[in-house]
Amino acid sequence: MTSPSAPAHTAVDDAQGLAFGVIMAAVGVAILTQLGLITGQTAGLAVLLSYLTGLPFGAVFFVLNLPFYWLGWRRMGPAFTIKTFISVAALSALTWLVPGWMSFAHLNPVFGAVLFGLCSGAGLLALFRHGASLGGVGIVAVLIQDRTGFRAGWTQLGFDAVLFALALLVLDLPTVLLSALGAAVLNLVIAINHRRDRYVAY
């Protein structure tokens, strides 16, 4: 729960928070794809499909998220869904632009996987704090928990396990293990830092 004395976010606060979150996530995706890694959740599925089809990550990610907005509207409300749609659309556009704005002459794969997790984790924290997300599997996981009692975290973990298993059909084992390292760092950042009672109310 949030502190009752905390002031609500203003529209400017939200705009800054969403922009920061999306930019950090876009940098994370640039690092991920530079190294040829994947990650978990909907973004990971979009990366894997992008590798398989040759289509841009941003386009695949945007389309994959479309079915989840209806669920988000029903479960999380219009404000969350609108902010999430804006965030997903902005990330989809930025992942097309960022590679033209920065590149890496050398990027150690282990450091890169950890850096991806840190950047993306910071970005997601900012989005969560301002009432948004990057859509996808998390919304379904919460809905399943509401209806069946099956914990959302276990649903997400199961999805990621299947995704990484499928990745082994396309990527070599060292690449998948490095991808798992990046995903683990991202999840640790969220698990340790995502506490609503530390945040300003929205």
Q: pLDDT tens for residues 20-35? A: 999 999 999 999 989 9
At 112, the amino acid letter reads: G
| CA dist 171 → 28, 48, 69, 133, 175 (Å) | 19, 9, 31, 28, 6
H helices of the chain, in order, are 11-35, 41-53, 57-65, 68-76, 78-101, 109-129, 137-148, 152-167, 173-193
Count the Cβ atoms, other than its own, within 10 Å of residue 141: 21
Q: Whole-structure pTM over 0.85, yes or no?
A: no
Q: What is the pLDDT of residue 20?
A: 95
84 pLDDT more than 80: yes
List CB contacts of 36: < 8 A, sequence separation 6 or more: 51, 171, 175
Q: How many Å apart are CA 83 and CA 38, to the nearest integer?
A: 25
Query: Average model confidence (pLDDT) for the chain?
Result: 83
CA angle in degrees (0–180, nearest 5) for 141-20-142: 10
> Which of the four pLDDT bands, split at 50, 70 and 90, describes residue 37?
very high
Q: What is the pLDDT of residue 2?
A: 43
Q: Of 128, 189, 45, whose CA–CA distance to 181 is shortest?
A: 189
Taking only the tens place, the pLDDT of each residue in 192-201 is 776 554 443 3
